[in-house]
Amino acid sequence: MSQTQNPKPYDLGERTLKFAKRIREYVKNLIKTPANIEYAKQLIKSSSSVGANYIEAEESLSKKDFVIRIKICRKEAKESRYWLELIEPEENQIQEKETLSREATELTKIFGSIVEKSKV
């Protein structure tokens, strides 16, 4: 299977970008209840922050800075999963919610693993 066919690319920059974009599309189609609107705002912020902090980690000036940024990536991925759990989707959005939640969990584990491997 080629890299372009792989639904979970190994390039974390690309993977986190796709995650944020999928979240954006998911949120666009949510039923507009007061709670969903507030949770969706938080979800957009946390999901896009995963990739933004990964970019910062790639440009870090020291190993310590790198680890701090990766820890923030992990925190934001966990937070994204939390907001996903609070959102109430319509019936036709449940599968996408589960898929996005799994991706948030996988990203959390990946960033956790990077933190562990970066310890001296």
Residue ranges of the domains in the chain?
A: 12-118
- Would you call 8 exposed, middle or buried from its count of C-beta atoms within 10 A (0-12, 13-18, 19+)? exposed
Q: Predicted confidence band at 119 (pLDDT cuts at 50, 70, 90)?
A: confident
CA separation for the pair 55, 13 (Å, rounded): 7
What are the pLDDT digits (tens) for 54-65?
999 999 999 999
Q: What is the rounded average pLDDT of the residues 9-30? A: 93
| Residue 4: pLDDT over 80 | no
Q: What is the rounded average pLDDT of the residues 78-103? A: 97
CA separation for the pair 103, 68 (Å, rounded): 21
CA separation for the pair 9, 7 (Å, rounded): 6
Q: What are phi and psi of 6, to 5 degrees?
A: -70, 120
CA separation for the pair 112, 78 (Å, rounded): 11
Q: What is the reported pLDDT for 120?
A: 56
| Residue 2: pLDDT over 70 | no
User: Quick one: fold of 12-118?
Assistant: de novo design (two linked rop proteins) (1.20.1440)
Residue found by looking up tokens 């609070």 in the block: 86
- Percent of the chain with pLDDT strictly greater than 90: 89
